[in-house]
Amino acid sequence: MDHFYIITGGPGSGKTTLLNALKQQDFQHSQEAGRHIIQDQLKIGGKALPWLDPAFFAELMLSWEMRSYLLATQERSDRPYFFDRGMADIAGYLTLSGLSVPDHVRQAAQHYTYNTTVFIAPHWPEIYQADAERKQTPQEAERTFAVMVQTYQAYEFTLLHLPKTDVKARVEFVLNHISPSHT
């Protein structure tokens, strides 16, 4: 789907702020899997948490991302649809966690098609903040960014690094780099 764009990067790099600003301009986007899964698991006393069972957490993220993709395809529109991370993020997360990437995760990253241009938010120490769901240290956030670069390149995506600037300029950057037929 050439109008499906991924926005990825390390935690705390301004992805959600950017997606919310794009939504204000009437662009649809998916919800981030990891944060919502953590919130839900904490509510129910579940074990699929990155600090308890990273493999189980990854499986729930995969399921969430597959469902998000399905919902986006039901929009039946050629307007850009933005994803708060993509299938390849799960492979990157598993790699970062020191776990092997199962074949079905690799298959998902290859089967579910997005635009080959991926926007990646670089590690940005000046805005990074930990919270109840984001427990990574700044160093882990930086490593996450590096692993996402490697992972998306391995899946042959073209990465466009988002500028470290205000959200308005980031929105303009994204809109200037998507297909003109989509805006």
Which pLDDT tens digits describe the chain residue by residue (183 residues)?
Answer: 789 999 999 877 888 899 999 999 999 999 989 889 999 999 999 999 999 999 999 999 999 999 999 999 998 788 899 999 999 999 999 999 999 999 999 999 999 999 999 999 997 767 656 665 656 676 787 788 899 999 999 999 999 999 999 999 999 999 999 966 555
**Cβ atoms of 181 and 78 closer than 8 Å:** yes
Q: What is the spatial distance between Cα 29 and Cα 53, in angstroms, rounded to a whole number?
A: 28
CATH number at residue 177: 3.40.50.300
Question: What pLDDT shows up at residue 164?
Answer: 92
Tokens of 126: 């000046």
Please tell me the total count of domains within the chain. Answer: 1
Domain that holds residue 176: 4-182
What is the spatial distance between Cα 112 and Cα 1, in angstroms, rounded to a whole number?
9
DSSP class of residue 9 equals: E
**Hey, is 84 helix, strand or coil?**
strand
Q: What's the CA gap between 104 and 111, in Å, rounded?
A: 10
Residues in the chain: 183
Tens of pLDDT, residues 157-176: 999 999 999 999 999 999 99
Confidence (pLDDT) at 131: 62
Measure CA 130 to chain center: 17
- Cα separation, 161 vs 149, in Å, equals 10
Tokens coding 158:
């073209």
